[in-house]
Structure 1
C-alpha cells in the first residue's frame, strides 16, 4: 500500500504535529525542521498505516537499508536515522509513546580519515573579493563570518544584533545543541560588521532583531546565505577555470568553516581552542582538521636532517647493496 499525502496526514496527524511543535520548542533551525519532517514522513509511508508505537527496530533498519541501497550517501542515511530517532524522542517526551525503535540502530560508518576540503588563505581573500551586488557590505560580512569566525550557515542565519559586541569585537553564537559560545573577531571582520550594521535594511516586522535582513525585510534565510556564497564561488571559478587546490571538488559554505579551522591550527592554535571556536561537542570531531600539507611534511623532514649522522647513511647504503 502506497500512502498519499492525504492518507499520511489522516493517519499520523497527531504524532507529526507533536514532532513539529517539539522541534520548534527545542530551537531546531527551519532547515533542520524541514529535512526532519520530510525524512519522518518518508519513513511513515513505509510502515503502511501501522501505529507508531508498534513499529519495530527491524522496520527502522529495513527502511534505512532501503534508503542506503537507493544510492544516497552515508551522511544522508544517517540524517534520516537521526530524524527518526528525534521523532520518537519527541513522542516519548510528550508521553505519546514509550518506545524508540531507532535508538538501538547503528549509524553507517562514514569516512573519517579523509582531510576536509579547504581554501588556502590567498584563495579565501580572492573569494571574499568576489562579494558583490547591491548589498555588498552585508554580503561580505556574511562571508567573512564563515571564513574568519567559523560560523555555520545556520549560525549566521540566527545571529541577532544583540549578539554583536562592537566595543569588545566579539559575537555570541548560538550553535548546535542550543549551546552558546563567544567568538573574538579579527578587527577587519568587526569593522565589516559595523559597515553592514550601518546599512542594515529596515525589517517589515517591528522588533525584528536579526542582524542580516533580506531585501524583503525579513531575516536573511539559510538559502539566501548559501546563494551569496555560491555567487562568489562561481565568480572566482569563472575567472580561474577551476580552483587548483580543490582538484575538481566543489566548494560550499561549510568549506569556509574548514578553511577557518585549518588556518587556526597553522597559526599555532591548540586543538582544544579550535574545538571551542568551532563549537564542537566532542574533540574527536575537531581532530579531522589536524591534517597537514605536503609542504609541512617536507619542512618536518628538513628539520630532521641535522640529526641524521653520516655513518647512519653509510649503513643504510650498505644494506641496500
Structure 2
C-alpha cells in the first residue's frame, strides 16, 4: 500500500480507513477535501462510516440495499457502546539487526455512545446519503424515512462542566508538582510543553484539534506580545492575542523544544511528543488526565477533558462580564446560540433571587 493511498491532505491512518470504502463514498471524501473541511471533521466522518460499513459487512448488506430498517438496526447495534478500530504505526527494533522498523497495527478501543456521539453519527449518515442521492448513486435516501419513523428523543441540555478559577490554578500548579515528584532537578521539555499546551487551552479556548494543528508559524510575535492563528471548523481562521502568562509559557517551551531527530514531515509542528512527531489528541488528553489527578480536583472534574477547558474559559469570561459576542468570536462559534449555553451557569439574577428567598424563610 502506498504511503498516501487516497489523499496527501490526510494523515496516513485516515487514508487507510477511507481506501476501504466503496468508490462512491471515496468520492464523497474528495468533495469534503475540495470544500476544505478540516482534517478532524474528515477523520470523524471516516470513523463513523467505518463503523457503519463494518456493520453492513456483518449483515452481508451492500450500500444499495440499505433500508430505514437497516439504519435502525445499526443504531440499536451501537446503542450501548462499540469498538473502534484505530490504525497505528509503531516502531520496533529488530532484535537481530538492531534496525528500527515501522509497522502498522490495528488497535481496538471501546467507546461509549454518548448523546452527542449518536447525533454526530446521524448527521454523518445524513450527509452521505444526501450526497449519494444527489449524484444519482441511490434513488432514495433511507435516512429520511428512518428519521420520519423514529421516536424523537427529548433534547436534554446539560450544563457544561468547567473548572472554577481556583481549580484552574490548581491544575496549572499540578504540572510542576507532578514533575518534581520525578526527582528532576531542572525543567524537562515535556513539562514546559505541557504547561504551554494547557495554558493555551485555558487562555484561548481553542479546540484540541486546533491545538494539534498548530505549527511554529502559527505564532506571530509582535515585540513583547504574540498572536496565534487558529484554523477552526470549516477552515475558518481566527487570530487571538496570547496573554502574558500563556506567551511566557510558550516562549519557555520553544527554548527547550527538540531541534534534532524530528521525524520528517513533523518539523513544523508546534507541539511534539516523545517520538518527535506532532502531538495527537490522545496524547494531549493523556497528559491532562495525569495533572487532573495530581491536582486532586473534586469529583465533577475527575473526567475533565481538553474540551472542558474550553468550557472553563467561556464561563470565566462571561462571569467577568465580557460581551457574549466577544466570547463567541474568541471560541469561533458560528452561532451565538452555541455560546449562550454558558450563560446557564452564570445567571446572577437567579442566584440573587434564591439568596433573597433565603432571607425570607
- Interval containing the TM-score (normalised by the shorter chain): 0.7 to 0.9
Q: CA offset at residue 10 of structure 1?
A: 11
Q: Which has the larger radius of gyration?
A: 1
Deviation at 1:101, TM superposition (A): 3.3
1:164 match: 219
Give the alignment partner of residue 115 of structure 1, picking from 143, 156, 159. Answer: 159
| Residues 11 and 122 of structure 1, relative CA distance in 2, 3 Å threshold | closer
CA distance, structure 2, for counterparts of residue 150 and residue 248 of structure 1: 17
Could you say what secondary structure the match of 1:145 adopts? helix
The CA distance in 2 between the partners of 1:196 and 1:100, in whole Å, is 51
Moved more, 35-44 or 64-73: 64-73
Higher deviation after alignment, 84-93 or 171-180: 84-93
Matches of 1:11 and 1:259 in 2, distance apart?
Answer: 40
Instruction: Provide, for residues 127-166 of structure 1, a one-character-per-residue CA deviation record: whole Å limited to 9, x for no partner.
Output: 0112255311111111111111101111110011121112
* Alignment partner, residue 256 of structure 2: 199
Q: Is 1:221 aligned to 2:280, yes or no?
A: yes
Q: 2:240 aligns with which of 183, 191, 209?
A: 183
Rounded to whole Å, the distance in 1 between the matches of 2:235 and 2:20 is: 32
Whether the 8 Å contact between 1:166 and 1:194 is mirrored in structure 2 is no
Contact 2:132–2:138 (CA under 8 A) maintained in structure 1 = yes
Q: Distance in 2 between matches of 1:172 and 1:89?
A: 34
Structure 2 residue corresponding to 1:280, chosen from 312, 323, 333: 333
Compute the displacement of 1:201 (Å): 2.1
Post-superposition, which runs of at least 4 consecutive aligned residues in structure 1 deviate over 6 A? 8-11, 92-95
Q: Which residue of 2 aligns with 1:127?
A: 171
Unaligned runs of 5+ in 1: 1-7, 238-242, 306-312
1:88 to 122, 129, 145: 129
* Greater fraction of residues in strand: 2
More helix by share: 1
Question: CA 1:170–1:97 in 2, change beyond 3 Å: closer, same or farther?
Answer: farther
Q: In structure 1, what is the Cα distance between the partners aligned to 2:198 and 2:19?
A: 44
- In the TM superposition, residue 190 of structure 1 has moved relative to its aligned partner by 1.4
Map residues 1-321 of structure 1 onto 2, 5 A cutoff: 13-15=22-24, 17-18=26-27, 21=30, 26-29=37-40, 32=44, 35-45=47-57, 48-50=60-62, 52-68=63-79, 72-88=113-129, 91=132, 96-97=137-138, 100-102=141-143, 105=147, 108-112=153-157, 114-132=158-176, 133=179, 134=188, 135-167=190-222, 168-202=225-259, 203-205=262-264, 208-237=267-296, 243-244=297-298, 246-247=299-300, 250-292=303-345, 297-299=350-352
Measured in 2, the distance between the counterparts of 1:37 and 1:208 equals 32
Report the CA distance shift for 1:53/1:28 in structure 2 as closer, same or farther (over 3 A).
Answer: farther
What's the TM-score, normalizing by structure 2? 0.68
Q: Please state how far the C-alpha of 1:262 moved relative to its aligned partner.
A: 0.4
Structure 1's 16 and 206: CA in aligned 2 closer, same or farther, altered over 3 A? closer
Q: 2:160 aligns to what SS in structure 1? A: coil
Q: Deviations over 1:55-86 (max 9, x none)?
A: 33443244334533778432222122123234
Q: Which residue of 2 aligns with 1:4?
A: none
Alpha-carbon distance change, 10 to 61 in structure 1, aligned in 2, over 3 angstroms? same
